Amino acid sequence: MSKCFLALFLIVASTFTNADDWASSVVTPGHGRIELVSNYLLFSSGKSYDAKIPTRVQEGTRIKIQYKKDDQWVAAEFVVAGISTKGDLCRLHSELPSRYSTSASDTIYVKPCRYN
């Protein structure tokens, strides 16, 4: 019985330690990698590009970004719906991830970053 309890405890503990944290604002190095997702009827496809972003980003704001596509810098706006964190990696999400939805959204990956 105690081995079963220990195994269950370790599974639950690892789930909590592997879970993402959420932040309301982050300090970035001013660059990251953006993954732009195209949703199709049966699947999603994504392409990633180097991106310039602000050094301070707050959840719920629109930020001006630039990303390099085909050796040209493209200016765009990005809505920061949420900021997930794990260690010194931050992900700026254009839509909040949901356990009920499998569709991906545009995401900017930033490392290293500091968060509040």
Residue 15 lies in a domain: no
Alpha carbon distance 42, 19 (integer Å): 28
Does the predicted TM-score (pTM) go above 0.85?
no
Is pLDDT of 97 > 60? yes
pLDDT mean over 5-26: 58
Q: Do the beta carbons of residue 89 and residue 113 sit within 8 Å?
A: yes
Contacts 24+ apart (CB under 8 A), 40-47: 44/103, 44/104, 46/104
Residue 51: which domain range? 20-115
Q: Which of 19, 28, 24 is nearest to 88 (CA)?
A: 28
Highest mean pLDDT: which range of 1-5, 22-26, 42-46 = 22-26
Residue 6 lies in a domain: no
Q: Which of 112, 108, 114 is nearest to 65 (CA)?
A: 108
Residue 5 lies in a domain: no
Provide the number of structural domains found in the chain. Answer: 1
Residue 60 lies in a domain: yes
Residue 12 lies in a domain: no
Residue 91 lies in a domain: yes
Residue 84 lies in a domain: yes
Is pLDDT of 78 > 50? yes
Residue 82 lies in a domain: yes
